[in-house]
């Protein structure tokens, strides 16, 4: 384990979209990857495809002169881009996307664990505890976001192997602390190379704690003081869906 204290942001930009407007009152930081046709988010899962339902050209025969629209169909697995896992993703009797409490997804107080050396290890409870001690935090109701810098590999073959993840003791710590949501800018919050078990997903989702994976731009978010939002559409019978995740910094 390094001596890095986990509190200093290190900026990594892995997409070509920009942060939102900066005003004297607040700054909006976009934390979602752009979804494009053909994008492979997770090795082995299908990429989205776009199909026109109504082209602009054809719409001119439907609407009044000078009026045109495009209507398109997207075929996409829920695990695309930056997405949220609800308990239903893991447990058949858990809340699906339509059953989530918006108050646990919107305008959450936020702490960011900056762990730039996490690529070769699971991120342990001691790293989270150091952040809590250094910043004098009570994480109850918080979004805890883990910034590893792995998002710079998103969309490349290197993204799918050797990715950082949360160690199981860190999950136990976060559940005990009462966090509302845990996010990471990596391939998976679990170690996908240790077999088929997924203890991190299993424990967090059993506790009703939402998981957001494939975040980006966390290096631009301060360690404390931001507010985080990641709300999916209310889809019944669905456990996972992309979100437009963002942080607001006053």
**DSSP line for 141-172:** T-EEEEE-SGGGGTTSGGGGSS--EE-HHHHH
pLDDT exceeds 60 at position 14: no
CA 43, 46, 245, 239 dihedral sign is negative
Q: What is the pLDDT of residues 153-163, one digit of tens each?
A: 999 999 999 99
Quote the CA–CA distance of 25 and 250 in Å, as a whole number: 6
Instruction: Give 15's pLDDT tier (boundaries 50, 70, 90).
Output: low
Residue 1 CA from chain centroid, whole number: 25
Integer Cα distance of 44 and 225 in angstroms:
37
Each domain of the chain, given as residue ranges in start order, spans 27-36+78-249
Tell whether the model's pLDDT for residue 119 goes beyond 90: no
Q: Return the percentage of the chain with pLDDT > 70, whole number.
A: 89
- Section 142-146 average pLDDT: 99
- The whole-number average pLDDT for the span 177-184 is 99
Average pLDDT over residues 3-12: 51
DSSP 125: H
> Binning pLDDT at 50, 70 and 90, where does residue 2 land?
very low
58 pLDDT band, cuts 50/70/90, is very high
Residue 233: pLDDT over 70: yes
Q: What are phi and psi of 130, to 5 degrees?
A: -65, -40
Q: What is the pLDDT of residue 118?
A: 62
Domain at 27-36+78-249, CATH class: alpha beta
pLDDT tier at 3, thresholds 50, 70, 90: very low
Residue 229's closest CA among 13, 20, 10? 20
Residue with tokens 């001596």: 3
Total-model pTM: 0.90
> Going edge to edge, which strands form the sheet with 246-249?
27-30, 246-249, 224-229, 108-114, 143-147, 181-184, 210-213, 83-85, 240-242
pLDDT in tens, 221-231: 999 999 999 99
Residue 213: other Cβ atoms inside 10 A: 23
Average pLDDT over residues 97-106: 98
pLDDT tens per residue, range 188-218: 999 999 889 999 999 999 999 999 999 999 9
Q: What does the block give as tokens for 57?
A: 């050209």
With beta carbons less than 8 A apart as the criterion, state whether 149 and 185 touch. yes
The answer, yes or no, to whether residue 93 has pLDDT greater than 90, is: yes
Q: Look at 16-25, 59-68, 113-122, 210-219 and tell me which has the smallest mean pLDDT.
A: 16-25
């Amino acid at each position: 384990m390094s001596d890095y204290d986990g509190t200093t942001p290190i900026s990594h930009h892995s997409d070509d979209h920009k942060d939102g407007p900066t005003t004297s009152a607040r700054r909006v930081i976009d934390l979602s990857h752009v979804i494009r046709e053909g994008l492979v988010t997770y090795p082995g899962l299908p990429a989205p495809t776009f199909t026109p339902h109504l082209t602009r050209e054809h719409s001119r025969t439907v609407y009044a002169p000078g009026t045109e629209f495009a209507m398109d169909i997207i075929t996409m697995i829920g695990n695309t881009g930056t997405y949220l896992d609800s308990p239903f993703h893991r447990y058949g009797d858990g809340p699906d996307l339509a059953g989530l409490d918006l108050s646990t997804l919107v305008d959450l107080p936020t702490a960011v664990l900056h762990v730039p050396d996490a690529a070769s290890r699971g991120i342990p409870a001691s790293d989270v505890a150091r952040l809590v001690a250094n910043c004098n935090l009570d994480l109850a109701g918080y979004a805890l976001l883990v910034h590893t810098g792995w998002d710079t590999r998103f969309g490349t073959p290197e993204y799918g192997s050797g990715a950082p993840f949360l160690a199981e003791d860190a999950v136990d710590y976060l559940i005990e602390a009462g966090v509302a949501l845990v996010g990471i800018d990596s391939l998976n919050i679990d170690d996908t190379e240790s077999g088929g078990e997924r203890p991190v997903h299993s424990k967090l989702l059993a506790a009703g704690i939402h998981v957001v994976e494939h975040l980006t731009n966390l290096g631009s978010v301060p360690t404390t003081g931001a507010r985080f939002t990641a709300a999916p559409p209310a889809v019944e019978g669905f456990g996972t869906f992309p979100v437009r995740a963002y942080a607001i910094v006053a």
